[in-house]
Structure 1
Amino acid sequence: MRRVPYGPVRDGWKLTNFSLGLTYNDTELPDGTMISYWQEGPYYDFTAAEIEELEAATATLHAMCIEAGDWMVKQCPRHTVQGRRDGYFAAVCSPESCFLAKIGIPEYTHEQIIRTWFDGDADTWTHYDKDPDMRTPMQTPDFSPSVYGRFDLWYNGAGSTPKLLEFNAQTPTSLVESAVIQWHWMDQVGVTQHPWRQWNSIHERLIGWEAADGEPANPGAWRRNIDKLREARTWLPEKPKIFFAYETSERTGEDRMNVAYLMATAEEAGYPVELIAMSQIGWDVAGDRVVFVPEPGREDKAQPIDIIFMLYPWEWFWQEEGGRGFFRNMADPSKRGTVWIEPPYKAALLGNKAILPVLWKLFGDDPERGKYLLPSHFAESSSAREMTSYAKKPVWGREGGSVTLVRDGVTISENPTEYGADGRFIVQELCELPSFDGLEGTVHPVIGSWLVDGEAAGMGIREGLGTDGLVTKDRCYFVPHTIEADA
């Protein structure tokens, strides 16, 4: 792993990137200075062996996270039939008795978090049909599609071991630049002739590819997931419409373009699609279901939503007015409720920082799997109080918000935001990002390792500058990569 500081600079690269979807390149710093989010010229180069190490780490971490999700579910009383006997709104969970309650997840969401986690597992769910005491019996197993996610990893090349910093399981962005922009950059600059050239099969894994050399075709994440969903929900048409929703208050356009890219891949996979705003998601009282309302006040034009991808945090969604209705709709025993991608378990079980101490608890002593982890504990624990060098992170936080780095008892970086206002934090052993020489000073890269349908799919690299860059924030740069470049 090396940083090449003086790579080729393409003529008209900003316009090229813009035409490919990077419409949010210009980033304004707090002092009003404008910088380029995409770094043209520098790039990171890896050996094939290093890529294999990152790919193996990604696959192992994903398997560990699935086991950690199982553990978290079992800490909720509602994971058993007995825990749900008193009905949907019964109070059976508390911070003392339930892990989900401990980390601040409203109890009314727990049953659907657990159901979507186990969806597709016949042995887990079919017996609920036969329980006469259930007020709302479950039907045969449903299916809750999950398309993508991203691990953020510390890595410093050959001789080092990738370390998990966090898992953005529900709403990862930087997808356009990872899947599309850096791929075209590599084709245009031609700095490597290695057969792999770049670790990047994100696009192909989303849409699939045709059979070659007698090998079976890969149908891609969209087709695999929708096919499984149609097996569970037989009334869906062969090509059901998928809505894609984003939050319009995000001013840079990054959310819109990431959602638009995912929508384009679903359309290329063969499905009808529509891009909508989060504010256009409504509730049909008479039909008791989720609908798309194209114009304010025109509920007469509303369309039912069977499937929707939402780039919006579940931890915001379930605190908002109307959240109970959406979760009750998910629990419709006829299974005609709206299917949400990503499902709520992606935020509740995998995509918050509470999974880090759970992973350490389960695998910290495992020499093969624990090597990819950093010691992590809930901030109120005695183990946390004994640490002198650590990263303190809010359980519910994004883009480095409210992350504090402490080295030998001295704070070296902090980023105060509204995240962590609920007082829920974890601490993770300090592992400062690697340092490389950049044109303006020392830069610190973090590896974004992508998963598509649970499989390692590629990499994007973000880097920050100087001490401020030790925590990856929204203003950090994106830098492309190659495998065994000639330069």
Structure 2
Amino acid sequence: MRRIPYGPVRDGWQLTNFSLGLTYNDDVLPDGSMYSYWREGPYYDFTAGEIEELEQATATLYEMCLEAGDWMVEQCPRRTVEGRKRGFFTSVCDPQTCFLSRIGIPEYTHEQIIRTWFDGDAETWTHYDKDPDMRLPMQTPDFSPTVYGRFDLWYNGAGSTPRLIEFNAQTPTSLVEAAVIQWHWMDQTGVTEHPWRQWNSIHDRLVGWEATDGEPGDPGAWRRNIAKLREARTWLPEKPKIFFAYETSDTSGEDRMNVAYLMATAEEAGFPVELIAMSQIGWDVAGDRVLFVPAPGREHEAQPIDVIFMLYPWEWFWHEEGGKAFFRNMADPSKRGTVWIEPPYKAALLGNKALLPVLWKLFGKDPERGKYLLPAYFADSKGAATLTSYAKKPVWGREGGSVTLVRDGVPITDNPSEYGSDGRYVVQELCELPSFDGLEGTVHPVIGSWLIDGEPAGMGIREGIGVEGLVTKDNCHFLPHTIESKN
């Protein structure tokens, strides 16, 4: 793993990147200077062996996350038929015993979190008919697709072991620049002649590829997941329309373009699509359906939503007005409830920092799998007191918000934000990001290792500058990478 400080600078690279979807590159800093999110010139280079190590770490970490999700679900009384019966009119989830309640997830969401986690496995989860007192099992299995996710990893090249910093499981961004922009950069600069060139099969794994020269093809994540979904929800057409929703309050355009890119891959895979705002998602009280409402006053043009991708945190959604109705709508596939991508479990079980102490509890002593982890504990636990150098993170937080790094008992950097106001924090043993020399000073890269449909698919690299750059924030730069560059 090398940082190449003086790579090629393409003529007109800003316009090229903009035309490929990086419309959110430029910004003005508080001191009036211009900021470029994409770094043209420097890049990181890896050996094929290092890429294989990152790929193996990604696959192993995802396996561990699935086991950790099972453990979390086991702590919830609503996982059993009896627990759901007892909890039909009352609360059965005590924060002392139910893990989901402990980390602040409303109890009314637990059943759907667990149901989407088990994908309606008939032996694990039982669906009921419309009469809750009858409790008759239905023979309709269900399925909740998951398309993507991103691990943030510490890595310093050969001789080091990748370590998990966190899992962006539900709403990871930087997808456009990882899947498209850096691929075109590599193709246009020709800085490597290695057969792999770059660890980046993100686009192909989303869209799929045809069989050639005896090599098997792959239908891709969209076709594979929708096919499974149609097995469970037989009324869906062969190519159901997929809505893609983003939050318009993000004025940078980053959310819109990440969603638009995913929408383009679904369209390339053969599905009808439509880009909408979160504010255009409505509710049909009479029909108990989720709707797309083009605008206020145009309710007569509303369309039922069968399948929707949403780049919006579930932990916000389930605290908002109307959240209970949307979760109730998911309960029974025979009612044509809306399928949400990514499903609720991605936020509740995998996409928050509470995953870190669970992984350490389950695998910290495993010599083969535990090596990819850092010791982590809930901040109010006895284990937390054993750490003198650590990162303190809110259970529910994003883009480095409210993360504090402590070295030998002394804070070295923090990032105050609204996250963590509920007092729920975890601590993770401090593992400072690697240091490389950059033009502006010391830079610190973090590896973003992508999963498509649960499979390792490529990486993107972001780096911060100086001590503040030890916490990766929204103003950190994105740099491309190669495999065995000629430079």
TM range (shorter): over 0.9
Query: Which residue type is aligned with residue 385 of structure 1?
Result: A
Question: Contact between 1:17 and 1:181, CA under 8 Å: does it hold in 2?
Answer: yes
Query: Which residue type is aligned with residue 255 of structure 1?
Result: D
Please show how residues 53-202 of structure 1 align to structure 2 within 5 Å: 53-86=53-86, 88=88, 90-126=90-126, 135=135, 139-202=139-202
Question: Contact between 2:128 and 2:136, CA under 8 Å: does it hold in 1?
Answer: no
Task: For 1:168 and 1:136, locate their aligned partners in 2 and report how far apart those are by CA, in whole Å.
Answer: 38
Question: Contact between 2:233 and 2:333, CA under 8 Å: does it hold in 1?
Answer: no
Shift of 1:299: 1.1
Q: 1:70 to 1:440 in 2, by over 3 A?
A: same
* Secondary structure, aligned partner of 2:336: coil
Residue 345 of structure 2: aligned partner: 345
Shift of 1:217: 1.4
Question: Contact between 1:125 and 1:140, CA under 8 Å: does it hold in 2?
Answer: no
Shift of 1:107: 0.1
Question: Contact between 1:242 and 1:272, CA under 8 Å: does it hold in 2?
Answer: yes
Q: Tell me if 1:408 matches 2:424.
A: no
Q: Tell me if 1:48 matches 2:67.
A: no
1:380-439 deviation line (CA, Å, top 9, x unaligned): 001102211000000000000000000000000100100000000000000000000001
Query: Which residue type is aligned with residue 143 of structure 2?
Result: F
* Secondary structure, aligned partner of 1:450: strand
Q: 1:120 to 1:91 in 2, by over 3 A?
A: closer
Task: For 1:480 and 1:330, locate their aligned partners in 2 and report how far apart those are by CA, in whole Å.
Answer: 40
Q: 1:101 to 1:136 in 2, by over 3 A?
A: farther
1:64-101 deviation line (CA, Å, top 9, x unaligned): 00000000000000011111004555311121120000
* Secondary structure, aligned partner of 1:45: strand
Task: For 2:138 and 2:249, locate their aligned partners in 1 and report how far apart those are by CA, in whole Å.
Answer: 38
* Secondary structure, aligned partner of 2:361: helix
Task: For 1:182 and 1:237, locate their aligned partners in 2 and report how far apart those are by CA, in whole Å.
Answer: 36
Question: Contact between 1:139 and 1:334, CA under 8 Å: does it hold in 2?
Answer: no
Task: For 1:252 and 1:468, locate their aligned partners in 2 and report how far apart those are by CA, in whole Å.
Answer: 22
1:87-142 deviation line (CA, Å, top 9, x unaligned): 5553111211200000000000000000000015232135868x996658555220
Please show how residues 317-466 of structure 1 align to structure 2 within 5 Å: 317-332=317-332, 334-466=334-466
1:181-230 deviation line (CA, Å, top 9, x unaligned): 00000000000000000000000000000001223210000000000000
Question: Contact between 1:374 and 1:429, CA under 8 Å: does it hold in 2?
Answer: yes
* Secondary structure, aligned partner of 2:274: strand
Q: 1:132 to 1:348 in 2, by over 3 A?
A: closer
Question: Contact between 2:441 and 2:465, CA under 8 Å: does it hold in 1?
Answer: yes
Q: Which moved more, 1:8-17 or 1:117-126?
A: 117-126
Residue 248 of structure 2: aligned partner: 248
Query: Which residue type is aligned with residue 185 of structure 2?
Result: W
Query: Which residue type is aligned with residue 39 of structure 1?
Result: R
Question: Contact between 1:353 and 1:394, CA under 8 Å: does it hold in 2?
Answer: yes
Gaps spanning 5+ residues in structure 1: where? none
Q: 1:134 to 1:93 in 2, by over 3 A?
A: farther
Question: Contact between 1:282 and 1:290, CA under 8 Å: does it hold in 2?
Answer: yes
Task: For 1:42 and 1:222, locate their aligned partners in 2 and report how far apart those are by CA, in whole Å.
Answer: 34
Residue 28 of structure 2: aligned partner: 28
Question: Contact between 1:139 and 1:333, CA under 8 Å: does it hold in 2?
Answer: no
Shift of 1:333: 5.5
Q: Which moved more, 1:101-110 or 1:135-144?
A: 135-144
Task: For 1:280 and 1:389, locate their aligned partners in 2 and report how far apart those are by CA, in whole Å.
Answer: 46
Residue 285 of structure 2: aligned partner: 285
Task: For 1:468 and 1:230, locate their aligned partners in 2 and report how far apart those are by CA, in whole Å.
Answer: 48
- Indicate the percent of aligned positions where both proteins have the same amino acid: 84
Task: For 1:273 and 1:229, locate their aligned partners in 2 and report how far apart those are by CA, in whole Å.
Answer: 16
Shift of 1:298: 1.6
Query: Which residue type is aligned with residue 150 of structure 2?
Result: R
Task: For 1:196 and 1:128, locate their aligned partners in 2 and report how far apart those are by CA, in whole Å.
Answer: 50
Q: 1:7 to 1:137 in 2, by over 3 A?
A: same
Question: Contact between 1:150 and 1:450, CA under 8 Å: does it hold in 2?
Answer: yes
Task: For 2:253 and 2:382, locate their aligned partners in 1 and report how far apart those are by CA, in whole Å.
Answer: 43
Task: For 2:297 and 2:32, locate their aligned partners in 1 and report how far apart those are by CA, in whole Å.
Answer: 39
Question: Contact between 2:447 and 2:461, CA under 8 Å: does it hold in 1?
Answer: yes
Task: For 2:218 and 2:147, locate their aligned partners in 1 and report how far apart those are by CA, in whole Å.
Answer: 15
Query: Which residue type is aligned with residue 106 of structure 1?
Result: P
* Secondary structure, aligned partner of 2:153: strand
Gaps spanning 5+ residues in structure 2: where? none
Task: For 2:48 and 2:176, locate their aligned partners in 1 and report how far apart those are by CA, in whole Å.
Answer: 24
Question: Contact between 1:290 and 1:305, CA under 8 Å: does it hold in 2?
Answer: yes
Residue 301 of structure 1: aligned partner: 301
* Secondary structure, aligned partner of 2:123: helix
Question: Contact between 1:10 and 1:189, CA under 8 Å: does it hold in 2?
Answer: yes
1:434-475 deviation line (CA, Å, top 9, x unaligned): 000001100000000000000000000000000010000000
Task: For 2:398 and 2:88, locate their aligned partners in 1 and report how far apart those are by CA, in whole Å.
Answer: 31
Shift of 1:334: 1.7
Which consecutive aligned stretches of 4+ in structure 1 deviate over 4 angstroms post-superposition? 126-129, 131-139
1:231-283 deviation line (CA, Å, top 9, x unaligned): 00000000000000000000100000000000000000000000000000000
Question: Contact between 1:147 and 1:453, CA under 8 Å: does it hold in 2?
Answer: yes
Residue 18 of structure 2: aligned partner: 18
Task: For 2:28 and 2:205, locate their aligned partners in 1 and report how far apart those are by CA, in whole Å.
Answer: 34
Residue 468 of structure 1: aligned partner: 468
Q: 1:333 to 1:54 in 2, by over 3 A?
A: closer
Q: Which moved more, 1:334-343 or 1:236-245?
A: 334-343
* Secondary structure, aligned partner of 2:334: coil
Please show how residues 199-210 of structure 1 align to structure 2 within 5 Å: 199-210=199-210
Query: Which residue type is aligned with residue 215 of structure 1?
Result: E
Question: Contact between 1:138 and 1:333, CA under 8 Å: does it hold in 2?
Answer: no
Question: Contact between 1:87 and 1:134, CA under 8 Å: does it hold in 2?
Answer: no
Query: Which residue type is aligned with residue 13 of structure 1?
Result: W
